[in-house]
Structure 1
């Protein structure tokens, strides 16, 4: 589409022009801003009838922004390339790009749709917020929402003992007690490359089936992500064994100094050994010994256990871009206003209840 600000086009990931490819990071530097990750998501986490693409914005006759998106069978953009596996899915920008102008151009492109959803964005990222300000200037209604919390712990320059010393007292005593026993009764294995990868994947799948976890919505994703990340040197697959049998598994990735926990599970029949606690401690100990780790990232959601292992929380947000002149946009705006009213009402009721 051509408008007063520039152009926006949708291109499949395998046909990105070189200039657009250069906007993405190497996976070793920033996994969720890399084409490696988005190729994995597009290949193994797309719903039936949908495919991965990239929205490319050009301003001042050069590509200024790229955003992985999801399109339907007719090539219409539906959303950002969201999945249950992403920690982030924001746009990437060219150095020196006019980000607000890029937002206006993208917003003008979105005007053809009733509504489009974008999520998994950082709430504290100035370029992303500048982009959304530009979208708002285009005339599209921007309806923000909280998506999920992300718990993390800065660990640069810290040893495992340093890290453990600032954890809650109950966790410290449990870890120390359980680790003493575990070093006698269990065996820890770390898979980082192709060696032992298939055995590790098989053991991961076996434990996942025996755990409390629900079946994966995209069953092929985790195995193929592990293989791709192992080839890139980013995989950290931890396995805990007792009597030569796996009892706990954790899938981590390391990128740009961030150690990211993607998946974990344990065999509930081994609960007396606290295999999840033991393996988490062993993985963090291994990661910090490896060196170069600046942050432990526990991924999506506010699960209570994460607050034992980390001290910091940041918000991930999303937006509905709604066209107020199309039925789907009118509906999205109405739903957003109703949601705001309900939240305000609940807050007022809670305030009154506390005052009684």
Structure 2
């Protein structure tokens, strides 16, 4: 397959070149869409120049959405809002096609950068392994390490009741005991509303969570996913006041838990736990989700709700013909030697 490559430093030319290949209709994953990337850059990463690398062969496309970190160093166009970052493909059904596109992207990257840092890459779909193989075959020195963990639930056709039967006794007893009091009332919104979103933000501001990095970005994603029918905004109230809130999306059989928070002044009522149970029930029984993804982070409470853990990887890649990279390559090879011996 003959591959043609292009480098884009803005989203307008990238959108034209993609010709719909990065739109919602073509990309099932939220994080692989041009509107996600453009909003993330415009609101949260606007001080970084985008570097959008495209490889194309016929109607098959591959993309690496990157951004400038410093001179000669490109990094994944991603931040803490991303559950994953990975190369994006369109109409590439085989690994052979994907590897051909990635080798083209590796050659293009060597003309624009001496170093690449890519994370958080998944590998359950072979993304990390394919990038590593293609870039090594193209002459790059590649170093791979685990950078995070991802907790996930594979529903496997179960009802919520069947799933709930397997939860830890402590969790089930908490939901049963606190639910009986009737102190907490719960709403699950599927459409964006200004008042409901303000309740979410009020709860977040009173929670243990750090200050929201880009609240405007999060709000725009909630509005956009509402229009697409993917928003699930859970709110818990005590005496009419919001005390817990969670922002989920559900699409193409996958539920993503983006944000959750509760007002610590009401911990005794367990509103966050009750709200989680309600949302799990909704996405399993009503939405028919096949999997529920708790994002990155190895927080202990996630293990109570989820059943599997997947690793996320960082690839540090250096173009060896650039002398500025030689110390980095030597240090990492020494570390690898020490770890193996």
TM-score by length of 1: 0.85
Pair 1:78–1:281, CA change in 2 (3 A): same
Moved more, 165-174 or 245-254: 165-174
CA–CA distance in structure 1, aligned partners of residues 299 and 70 of structure 2: 36
Pair 1:108–1:168, CA change in 2 (3 A): same
Instruction: Report the count of equivalent residues.
Output: 335
1:15 maps to what in 2? Answer: 13
3-state SS of paired residue (1:249): strand
Pair 1:228–1:155, CA change in 2 (3 A): same
- Equivalent residue runs for 1:14-93 within 5 Å: 14-16=12-14, 20-24=18-22, 26=24, 29-48=28-47, 50-59=48-57, 64-71=61-68, 78-93=74-89
Query: In the TM superposition, what is the alpha-carbon distance from 1:128 to its structure 2 partner?
Result: 5.2
Superposed CA RMSD in Å reads: 2.6
CA–CA distance in structure 2, aligned partners of residues 202 and 54 of structure 1: 35
Contact kept, 8 Å, 1:191 with 1:237, in 2: the verdict is yes
CA–CA distance in structure 1, aligned partners of residues 338 and 299 of structure 2: 25
After superposition, give the CA deviation of every residue in 1:57-80 in whole Å (9 maximum; x if it has no partner).
134x66531122223699x77212
CA–CA distance in structure 2, aligned partners of residues 29 and 108 of structure 1: 28
After superposition, give the CA deviation of every residue in 1:105-150 in whole Å (9 maximum; x if it has no partner).
2222222422111112212223653343121111111111212111
Query: In the TM superposition, what is the alpha-carbon distance from 1:249 to its structure 2 partner?
Result: 0.6
Pair 1:17–1:341, CA change in 2 (3 A): same
CA–CA distance in structure 2, aligned partners of residues 134 and 73 of structure 1: 24
CA–CA distance in structure 1, aligned partners of residues 238 and 323 of structure 2: 58
Contact kept, 8 Å, 1:247 with 1:275, in 2: the verdict is yes
Pair 1:248–1:334, CA change in 2 (3 A): farther
Pair 1:246–1:17, CA change in 2 (3 A): closer
Contact kept, 8 Å, 1:102 with 1:131, in 2: the verdict is no
Pair 1:339–1:179, CA change in 2 (3 A): farther
1:351 maps to what in 2? Answer: none
Q: Pick the aligned partner of 1:291 from 284, 287, 291.
A: 287
CA–CA distance in structure 2, aligned partners of residues 310 and 328 of structure 1: 44
Unaligned runs of 5+ in 1: 346-356
After superposition, give the CA deviation of every residue in 1:292-347 in whole Å (9 maximum; x if it has no partner).
211111111111000000110111112111122335423432443455467568xx
CA–CA distance in structure 2, aligned partners of residues 338 and 320 of structure 1: 15
1:243 maps to what in 2? Answer: 239
1:99 maps to what in 2? Answer: 98
2:217 maps to what in 1? Answer: 221
1:191 maps to what in 2? Answer: 189
Pair 1:228–1:159, CA change in 2 (3 A): same
CA–CA distance in structure 2, aligned partners of residues 344 and 241 of structure 1: 54
1:155 maps to what in 2? Answer: 155
Q: Pick the aligned partner of 2:311 from 310, 315, 319.
A: 315
CA–CA distance in structure 2, aligned partners of residues 45 and 208 of structure 1: 19
Pair 1:327–1:152, CA change in 2 (3 A): same
Unaligned runs of 5+ in 2: none
After superposition, give the CA deviation of every residue in 1:147-187 in whole Å (9 maximum; x if it has no partner).
21111111143222111101122212222222222xx1121
Contact kept, 8 Å, 2:178 with 2:269, in 1: the verdict is yes
Pair 1:6–1:307, CA change in 2 (3 A): same
